Structure formats: structure tokens, C-alpha cells
Amino acid sequence: MENQPLYKKTLLVVTFLMAGLILLYASPVAAAIGKITGFKGDAIIQSGAVITKVTKAGMPLNDGDGIATQNGEVNVTFNDGAVMKVNPYANILLQERQEQSGFWMFKTTYTARRITCMVGKIWFKSGASNTKNYLQTPTAVARLQGSDGDFGYDNVRTYLNMYSGDAAVVGNVIRGFFENPGISAAQKSSVYQALQAAYQQTVQAQAAPATVLKPVVQDQARLASLQVAQDVATIMKSNPDSTVASQASQASTVLATAITQTQSNLARDTNNAQQAGVTVPVTTTTVRPTTTPTTVPVTAASTTSTSTTSTTSTTSSMSTTTICPSPPCEPKQ
């Protein structure tokens, strides 16, 4: 009886720890940063090595996910109320995580949302939070604050058309109204085409019968998806913003490990299938060389002005803007 209080205390602690473990393992690995709120036509989501078709509103989007549209559009709402429209024949990557700026004891931590446009056109409007919003392409980065505008990339040039607020950029950005680069740019984008091919392999892998060959085609589809992500990281390592280039380098290292493991799994499963007397089809997945985007100088047609209060575009013509050394890219006050 003297040990009863100790017993009860121990039981309470054990119960609390078990409950905590149950909650930990029952929770999703990563909380969604936003969701699909509308779509039409064909679009896909790439989440790691998994590629799925957009089939309904409400589908969650996580840090690191990609969206690619064909003859369709996708509307996205982020958790802080920021909204985005992805136009037809676009390929984008979503990132939202904690970043730091400053040095040593003077470092500050903040939430950064980075939307990378590999090809195509998007419209983006900031939310109500203090999240720092960066729109980026292989050749430039634009940091928005309390603003909205169109942003795009045609495999060579980066475009920005502000409707309200302000933006500071690293790299060369052509300001003013611009047309959607569309299907012609998508057809010339190696990343866009590789992602579409990887999706087709994923569909084929899902439809494959449950035989000894199924793990092989699943490995092939996973490898194709990972190599698309590696292509993006390789290209973004040449971004003029050092923060973006550093993040891409880190992602490339992680992806290289995942690709090596997947290649090992593919070799193992291929060997198992061959030992079972099954002919393994040659995969179309190869290690693709990636090239650094070419920067083409553009002669400014005229200067532009971006108002911090206007609700309509104040830019009627285009100009090339190169400001804000990196890092960091901060908006003008």
C-alpha cells in the first residue's frame, strides 16, 4: 500500500507517453500547405516519386509537390489565404518551409513560400500571413509582398506583370503584360516532357497485373519520377540567387541517394523476374543530361512603374529589370 502512489504516478506517465506515441504515428508525415480548390482539363500532381491525376477539388498539396497542366487550369488556395492559378501547359514546384537570414547570433527565422515555374504562366496573390513569397524560375527570383501579379517562363525568359504591390528581383525579369508561353514552350521544355512521360509510366505500372514483373515496372516509374525531380534541382543550381542555388544543391544530393536506391531495387527485381523466366522489357528511363538555361539579353522597350496601391496593372509595355543582389531579395520600402 505504501507504493501505491508511486505506482499510480508511474502508470500515469506510461499512459501519457503511449498516448503521445499513438498521436505521433497517427499523424501525417507532413501537413498540407494548401489544396486544389478548382480545376478543369488535365493536370497532374507530382509528390516525391508519386504522380497522380487531379480528379477533384480538395486534393491536398504538400511542401515539395509539383503541378503540371496540359489543356487545363488549376486553382490553388494556401493555408494563409494566398491563391494561385496555374495556366495551361505549365509546370511548377511548391515549397513552403522555415528559412533563415542574417549571420551568427543575428539570424532570423521566417516562413518562406517558393513557387518555381519551370515553364508556363501563373497568377499569384499573397495571403494574410507574414509568409515571404518568392516566385522563381531557372533564371530569376521575384520576392512579392502584399501584392499580386502574373509570373512566367518560356524556357529562356522570365516574365512578371504586377497588378498591385511591389516586387524585388534577382536576375533578368521582363516586366509588363505577357501571353501564356503555352503548348509551344511546353513542347520545348525537357522537364515538362519528362514529367509527362513519367506519368504515363506510372499509369502503366498501376495497371500492370500482379505478376513478378509488376515490381519492375513500378521501379521504372519511380525512377523516372525521381529523375524529373533531379533534373529540376540540377537546373536550379544555376539560379542567380545563392539561396535558391544552395537549396537546389541540397535537394540534388538527397535525390541522388533516392535514385541510387531505386536503381538498386530495379536491378534486384529485374533479376528476380529473369530468374522466374520472365522477359523484362527494356525501360525507357535513362539518365538524361540536363542543360543550363540560356539567358538571352533583351533590349528594354521602355521603363515600367509598379504601384503599391493600384489594383490594376500599371505596366503597358515591357522592360528588362535586374536589381536586388542576392541574398537576400527584399522588396523596396
Over 90: is that where the pLDDT of 278 sits? no
Over 90: is that where the pLDDT of 325 sits? no
Q: What is the per-residue pLDDT across 54-98, written as a single tens digit (0 to 9) for each?
A: 999 999 999 999 999 999 999 999 999 999 999 999 999 999 988
Rounded to an integer, the average pLDDT of 254-258 is 95
CA distances from residue 277 to 93, 203, 211 in whole angstroms, order as listed: 42, 25, 12
Query: E-assigned strands of 103-139?
Result: 108-125, 132-137
Q: What is the per-residue pLDDT across 32-45, written as a single tens digit (0 to 9) for each?
A: 999 999 999 999 99
Q: How many residues does the chain have?
A: 333
Confidence of residue 323 (pLDDT cuts 50, 70, 90): very low
Higher-confidence residue: 306 or 68?
68
Give the residues across from 53 on adjacent strands: 44
- Distance, in Å, from the CA atom of 108 to the CA atom of 239, rounded to the nearest integer, reads 23
Interacting residues of 152 by C-beta distance below 8 A, sequence separation 6+: 90, 117, 120, 121, 122, 158, 159, 178, 180, 181
Q: Are strands 83-86 and 73-78 parallel, antiparallel or unpaired?
A: antiparallel
Residue 112 Rama label (left phi>0; alpha psi -120 to 50; beta): beta
Give the residues across from 95 on adjacent strands: 114
Q: What is the per-residue pLDDT across 138-160, written as a single tens digit (0 to 9) for each?
A: 999 999 977 899 999 999 999 99
- Distance, in Å, from the CA atom of 221 to the CA atom of 200, rounded to the nearest integer, reads 8
Over 80: is that where the pLDDT of 164 sits? yes
Over 60: is that where the pLDDT of 291 sits? no
Query: E-assigned strands of the chain?
Result: 34-40, 43-47, 50-53, 60-61, 66-69, 73-78, 83-86, 91-101, 108-125, 132-137, 140-153, 158-171, 173-175, 319-321
- Distance, in Å, from the CA atom of 308 to the CA atom of 77, rounded to the nearest integer, reads 23
Rounded to an integer, the average pLDDT of 282-294 is 47
